[in-house]
Structure 1
Amino acid sequence: MTTTVGFITPEYPHGSVRQTAGIGTSLGNLVPELVKKGIRVILFVYGQDADEEIAEDGYILYRIKNRNYRFAGWYFNRKFLQDFISQKIRIHTINIIEAPDWTGITAFCSFPVPLVMRFHGSDTYFCHLEKRPQKWKNRWFEKVAAKNADAFVAPTKFAAELSASLLEIKKPVEVIYNGLSTDKFKNQTPLDFDSGLLLYTGTLIRKKGVLELPAILKEVWKKYPNARLVLIGGDAPDIKTGHQSTWQLIQESIDAEKRHLVEWLGKIPYQQMQQHILKAQVCLYPTFAETMGMVTIEAMAMQKPVVSSNFGWVSEIMEDGKSGFMEDPTNHGDFAQKIAMLLSDNELCYQIGKNAREFVSAKFDSKMIAEKNIAFYQQILKNLTQT
């Protein structure tokens, strides 16, 4: 019998969906591989501007518009989702449903099939990592949603253990890394790059460590005064200062005579990102808060040496000194020293990049990751039939 999996998500990389970020990227890698392996997939993309059913090759996507309620919209929108999805579960004979932890979208929902919660990173999780206060309602939603889930999966051991502790989850959490289609991330000319070009990809937001970059660059420039930094990603307000633009904060932290060496390209189509990665000599990810960090994996798959933060999850996605370098981004001098070491040695860049590609291919290839997800779903269904 064919297994059918439903995904509840705010994002998916499809032309009709308004936006996509980390959750969408991970699903965009997983879903096609599940389909290739004979799994039927139904996607429920909530928070959209219209209702629409889209039949694609191997999966069906439902765009679901938020409903307006005069009172307690947070509750009635969830109940609408519950009823809509439950109806489709019966129509499509869906065996299992998966939802993200973010915002506790399945709080107060009950479905006629097992519900899996995947830890993409809850508000509770990120507030804890960033040491900032959390709205009590957000924490409540996420804890209620976790209580309703039948099984849990996380992309790293670090995210599994911390999320389980914060959300008071007593059930075991399966660790399955997010996959990457490594055959789509290739670098045929790893020795061909723009010398001195540094690249950051991701949202310009404090939790990603971008506000540490001006101080790090100041140290790099002492040895390499013409090193350049390109940043790609959407701008965001800064929670700590209330400033509306993190990019402006970055600019203001750089001496006027050096600002021409730092360029922000804003958001670009995902398909164009690889060309910018190919040009870079070194990729920088000084983030403070992730569950795994797919942009890091993508750069590594393209044989780029990466200098990343050294927190929790990072030791699971690279080997320090072999397939990348790890350092606390608040240690500006030490972080800069790792960058300068790579800028000074093309052979080191090549070897680190080669090791990175091999590491990612062995550990995160989407075909292998899809098989692990299928085995996980089948074990949940087997356990259900035995109880």
Structure 2
Amino acid sequence: MKNKNILEVCLSPDLGGLELYMSNCSKYLSKEFNVYNAISKNSKLENYFKNEKNIFILKRKSSFSLFLALKLAKFIDEKRIDIIHLHWTKDIPNVVFAKKLSKRKPKIIQTRHMTMTRFKNDFYHKFLYKNIDTIICVTKALQEQVNKFIPKDIRPRTKLLYLGAKDEKLLNQEEIESFKEKLQVKNSFMVGLIGRINEFKGQYLLIEAMKLLKEKKLNIKAYIIGHAMSEEYLEKLKQKVIKYELEEQVLFVGFTKEPSKFMQACDVVLMTSKNETFGLVTIEAMRNGTAVIASNSGGVLEIIDDEKTGLLFENQNYEDLALKIEKLYKDDFLREKLAYLGQKKAEEQFDSEKQFKKLNTLFETI
């Protein structure tokens, strides 16, 4: 018999690593617990819960709504929820007030995906954080930030738990060639940048780097894969591509449900974010057996050992990014070595099955 009732909460309207992690948590934890899910109406997560029975859809209009908190509190009591597991930082006020308004007073566990940059020592934040039982931090750096910025007397206990990537089915050479044919890669060196299209993710750095690489007459094609968070930003990127006459070298693919296919087809996968808290795409690419080049900032520093399991380029420096791409373009042996050792490290330290088992154990003890 399943002895605990868990409510997974993510009212974010977007669809990225954070939201998909919530969906994966729900699937994995439901093996051992009774899991319910609260998501926002018309959010992109709805597609991932289409056939779920234990789904609660809420209308979210602002960071805090008393009406929403009351509805959540009622649901908590009806389903006898023991633990609320939230993922999106903006959900904290609604979840905390729902806990206070409920009769059951469930434990709150937050998996924190975003960096913390300022002190939470005002009355409002003290009220919120003293009602959270545990903050799961996805990197050591993030755990240090939480310990630094939340006063000790109201700080929830912190646990380090890296995100994980699942073991992907590897395509054979024929399947990869067929996929590349559809993309019209031909005999070009293929570079991929996968993730939400917004300025923070740094797609513009790749375009600037590609301009330099084209000037050197290197046969490279770059594929930008992901959903556009801002049509205005996407248009700026496309105009930059036209301005630099890179229409044949830089291609926009849009959102894909098969990112692992792209990763395996690529010679190199990039992570160009300004300061990524973790960098899930990085470990996914490593697990798919592809060499990675990433910005030397944020959680990536806990994933990549420079020149061993991947390459690091100077944060926000597109000239250095271009040099690192060129390095792997010219050195097949190094690229294959980085891909092999990167895959090995990702299997050992960032396997989703291992990480979810740790999460499961944590929920059993709360």
Cα distance change on mapping 1:296 and 1:68 into 2, 3 Å: closer
Contact 1:48 1:63 in 2 (8 A): no
Q: Distance in 2 between matches of 1:152 and 1:300?
A: 27
1:372 aligns with 2:365: no
1:108 aligns with 2:92: no
Contact 2:129 2:155 in 1 (8 A): no
Contact 1:323 1:355 in 2 (8 A): yes
Q: What residue identity is the alignment partner of 2:234?
A: W
Q: Tell me by how many angstroms 1:313 deviates.
A: 0.9
Q: Distance in 2 between matches of 1:220 and 1:356?
A: 25
- Which residue in 1 is equivalent to 2:255? 267
Q: What residue identity is the alignment partner of 1:8?
A: V
- What is the root-mean-square deviation in Å for CA atoms of aligned residues? 3.2
Unaligned runs of 5+ in 2: none
Q: Identity of counterpart residues, as a percentage?
A: 22
Q: Distance in 1 between matches of 2:143 and 2:314?
A: 22
Cα distance change on mapping 1:283 and 1:366 into 2, 3 Å: same
- Which residue in 2 is equivalent to 1:15? none
1:95 aligns with 2:95: no
Q: Is the partner of 1:84 in helix, strand or coil?
A: helix
- Which residue in 1 is equivalent to 2:155? 170
Q: What residue identity is the alignment partner of 1:227?
A: I
Q: Could you give the per-residue CA deviations for residues 143-167 of structure 1, whole angstroms, max 9, x where no partner exists?
A: 6543321111011111222244445
- Which residue in 2 is equivalent to 1:295? 281
Contact 1:179 1:369 in 2 (8 A): yes
Under a length normalisation based on structure 1, what TM-score does the superposition of the two structures give?
0.77
- Which residue in 1 is equivalent to 2:19? 24
Q: Could you give the per-residue CA deviations for residues 33-87 of structure 1, whole angstroms, max 9, x where no partner exists?
A: 3344x333222223448x9xx796xx75313131789xx9723222322222232
Unaligned runs of 5+ in 1: 12-17, 130-135, 238-243, 382-387
Q: Is the partner of 2:55 in helix, strand or coil?
A: strand
Q: Is the partner of 2:162 in helix, strand or coil?
A: coil
Q: How does 1:249-288 map to 2 (within 5 A)?
A: 249-254=236-241, 255-268=243-256, 270=257, 272-288=258-274
Q: What residue identity is the alignment partner of 2:157?
A: P
- Which residue in 2 is equivalent to 1:338? 324
Q: Could you give the per-residue CA deviations for residues 156-189 of structure 1, whole angstroms, max 9, x where no partner exists?
A: 111222244445563331010112221x353555
- Which residue in 2 is equivalent to 1:231? 224
- Matched residue pairs, number? 341
Contact 2:291 2:310 in 1 (8 A): yes
- Which residue in 2 is equivalent to 1:74? 65
Q: Is the partner of 1:112 in helix, strand or coil?
A: coil
Cα distance change on mapping 1:302 and 1:213 into 2, 3 Å: same
Q: Distance in 2 between matches of 1:350 and 1:201?
A: 20
Contact 2:36 2:56 in 1 (8 A): no
Q: Distance in 2 between matches of 1:198 and 1:219?
A: 15
Q: Distance in 2 between matches of 1:177 and 1:221?
A: 38
Contact 1:26 1:179 in 2 (8 A): no
